[in-house]
Structure 1
Amino acid sequence: MSSHSEAEVARYSRTARILHWIVAMLVFVTWPMGLMIGFAKDAVKLDFYLVHESLGFLLLWFMLLRTGAKFYQPSPPISGSVLERIAAHTVHGLLYAFLIIMPVSGFLATNAHGFPLRWFGIIPIWSPLDKSPEIAPVLSTIHEWSAWIVLALLALHILAVIFHHLIRRDSTLYRIL
């Protein structure tokens, strides 16, 4: 495997790289925690919800920061065929969209079910929704479907990185490190 110096690689900005890895870490903690809530014993279920919702709310803010930063510091150009570039832009765009839709729908669903968020059990977070049993299931469904879509997109993203790193042996991975 060839080594890639920083001068050779068109890297994402430092801000983009830091936000990328913070979001990745939050997804890798929050997503499985949300899945485990269904299996948690009643004694700890509310604790799982609190941490899951609080981390999800934090994820939302980091995604909003990432989106804003993207306007000020555009991504370096993507190499590859036209089809590969379209696929990469599509997956990235959908990841951004669903990493915002997922926490927003979860936050709103929680409120619509009658459980306003107290961020990490400390700070009450205002919501545009009060208890709304008629829309709570719709929001919960959007949240759940969004989570599965994020998982599928994340799998595509990781497979593409592995393909570029191990098969193509190009500098794609080094752009975000």
Structure 2
Amino acid sequence: MDTPRYPGAMRTMHWLVAVLVLATWPLGMIIKFVRDDVKLDFYLLHESLGFLVLWLMLVRIGIRLTSRIPKSAATGSMALVAHTVHTGLYLMLIVMPVSGFLATNAHGFPLVWFGVVPVWSPVGKTPDIAPLLSTVHEWSAWILFSLFALHLAGVLFHHVLRRDDTLYKML
């Protein structure tokens, strides 16, 4: 197949972030149902993976801004929808881990990344803003989930209905 593909670094970052989000998002959703004696372990894993997503997204944005990408098969309003969904995904993949990190710190739990690296917090324990940051984190998670569903619908639309090479560009 002669399909022009995204650069290897972009494809790698895309799938790495996707796998991490698909692990981190449900992990965050089940924490409230976990036994108290292991709850902090679940929080540490969720927060550490989320913080990793943040750094990978910053690298991904850098790669995206400095790489040539293949031409999109979408045109007109479909191109606008695709651009809006992608922009929203990138935005939420920054907002969600930042708000989660800040919320955790504001609640008085500094992040020790994967239990090894202490991470400095710009807010520290700040109970006045902790609920707001938690709300932003929760809402951004649901927005991300919705955008992911739209993204997946777009992939299926292109691959199954239009039978174009859009999916192959990212494989």
Q: Give TM-score scaled by structure 1 length.
A: 0.95
Judge conservation of contact 2:96–2:136 (CA < 8 Å) in 1. yes
Counterpart of 1:101 (choices 83, 95, 104) is: 95
Give the match for residue 142 of structure 2.
Answer: 148
Give distance in 1, aligned partners of 2:65 and 2:22. 26
Counterpart of 1:53 (choices 38, 47, 54) is: 47
1:18-61, Cα deviation, whole Å (9 max, x unpaired): 00000000000000000010111101110100000000000000
2:123 matches 1:129: yes
Give distance in 2, aligned partners of 1:135 and 1:43. 27
Give every structure 1 segment of 4 or more consecutive aligned residues whose post-TM-superposition deviation is greater than 4 Å: none
Shift of 1:80: 2.5
Give distance in 1, aligned partners of 2:56 and 2:69. 17
Give distance in 2, aligned partners of 1:151 and 1:9. 29
1:144-165, Cα deviation, whole Å (9 max, x unpaired): 0000000000000001101111
Shift of 1:74: 3.6
Give 1 or 2: higher helix fraction: 2
Q: How many residues align?
A: 171
Give the match for residue 75 of structure 1.
Answer: 69
Q: Give TM-score scaled by structure 2 length.
A: 0.98
Matches within 5 A, 1:1-177: 5=1, 8-177=2-171
Consecutive unaligned residues in structure 1, runs of 5 or more: none
Consecutive unaligned residues in structure 2, runs of 5 or more: none
